[in-house]
Amino acid sequence: VLKPGGTLSSLGVYSEDLKIPLAQFAAGLGDHTIRTALCPGGKER
């Protein structure tokens, strides 16, 4: 459950484009943030 003003975070690797159906995601509340990043690798980990 993502509350209004909440942030959805995704750390991962996807083999294809990640498509999010925004109309269904927002469900009429539209006050969300989506953040994505890759996990560091090698010496950075």
User: For 5-35, b where at least 16 C-beta lie within 10 A, e where not — what string?
Assistant: eeeeeeeeeeeeeeeeeeeeeeeeeeebeee
Question: Per the structure block, which two tokens stand in for 30?
Answer: 């539209």
Residue of higher predicted confidence among 17 and 14? 17
Handedness of CA 6, 12, 13, 15 (dihedral sign): negative
pLDDT tens digits for range 4-13: 777 877 777 7
17-40 per-position pLDDT tens digit: 878 777 766 665 667 777 777 777
- Residue 35's H or E segment, with its range, is strand 33-37
